Amino acid sequence: MNVTDAKATEHLVTEQRNERTAHIDRADTLTMLRLINEEDALVPLAVQKELPHIALAVDAIVAAMEAGGRLFYCGAGTSGRLGVLDASECPPTFGTPPELVVGLIAGGSEALLHAIEGAEDSGELCERDLRAHGFCERDVLCGIAASGRTPYVLGGMRYARALGATVLSLTCNPSSPMAALADIAISPVVGAEVITGSTRMKAGTAQKLVLNMLTTGVMIRRGRVYGNLMVDVQPTNEKLIARARRIVREATATLSSVPDDAAIDAALAACGHHPKVAIVMLARGTDAATAETILTDCGGHLHAAIEADYEH
């Protein structure tokens, strides 16, 4: 960063000094932790103010996915890691293909564990990363940066806009260059950090909350949640196998003929331990293949598959 760029960041909210924690280094341990906790408590309030923008973003992502598009995150440092984390959680939680939600971080996979100096300063790198994934006009790009001015992210956003794709921004500074480029700007302003400029703290927490909302909201809208049950969970270990069994038990508890554990286990075994399919099998008295066909015809929505007056 040159001197001009350094001066340009001095006014950023996330770079200001927090007077409430100015003497945190002299506080006893409990007081120090209380100060951190009090600042953290401000984060959900900042996110709450952005709920209308988050809702618009969720609806835009759903529309894109229904037209065959995908969701991409791009960021650097903490912001990039949070995007990669959120993307990587979607397949096991919601049973989505790994290419549906993609996280890109400046510097590539090595940057997840180690700082890659200078990677975030190149806008061309993000365009290259997007091209490598076949990013197109049907997709959605969400740029993530606490400052709202990271060159890697801005470069990716400009490329996405040039293609005609929907562009979102997630920043923690108002009226940022990223927000100006975005179709929908999400800007939870959490104020000065506990440790000056350490945006892995409040800003990172705000970004994590918003990213949770984006993908969880999208998956709920797309039928990958029934009630509040993650019916598309991939049971890849013993803990998740047990969770899948509980999910099926909860979802079928109100049926006129409640299945016992043996029937639940048999249904899960017959459909490759896919809770959603097992639920339809038990609710409609069908085999796995028929249940899968019904779900496909209903767009994956369990309410339509087991509650509506549906005839296959």
Q: List pLDDT tens digits, range 244-266.
A: 999 999 999 988 889 999 999 99
pLDDT at 111: 84
Give the residue ranges of the chain where pLDDT is below 50.
1-4
Is-contact 220 301, C-beta < 8 A? no
Give pLDDT tens digits for 113-127. 887 767 787 889 999
Question: Is residue 228 in a domain?
Answer: no
Token digits of residue 108: 């590539």
Overall number of domains in the chain: 2
249 lies in the same domain as 197: no
- Active-site residues, by number, are 89, 120
Is-contact 60 183, C-beta < 8 A? yes
* Residue 183 belongs to domain spanning: 13-221
Four-residue CA torsion sign, 186, 81, 237, 273:
positive
Q: Which of 165, 154, 159 is nearest to 130 (CA)?
A: 159
State the Cα angle at 125 between 120 and 131, rounded to 5°: 140
pLDDT at 106: 93
The CATH number of residue 257's host domain is 1.10.8.1080
Residue 144 phi/psi, 5-degree rounding, is: -125, 125
Token digits of residue 304: 């339509």
pLDDT at 7: 55
CA 133 to CA 84: how far, in whole Å? 14
pLDDT at 145: 96
67 lies in the same domain as 169: yes
Residues 6+ apart with CB under 8 A from 135: 72, 141, 159, 160, 163, 165
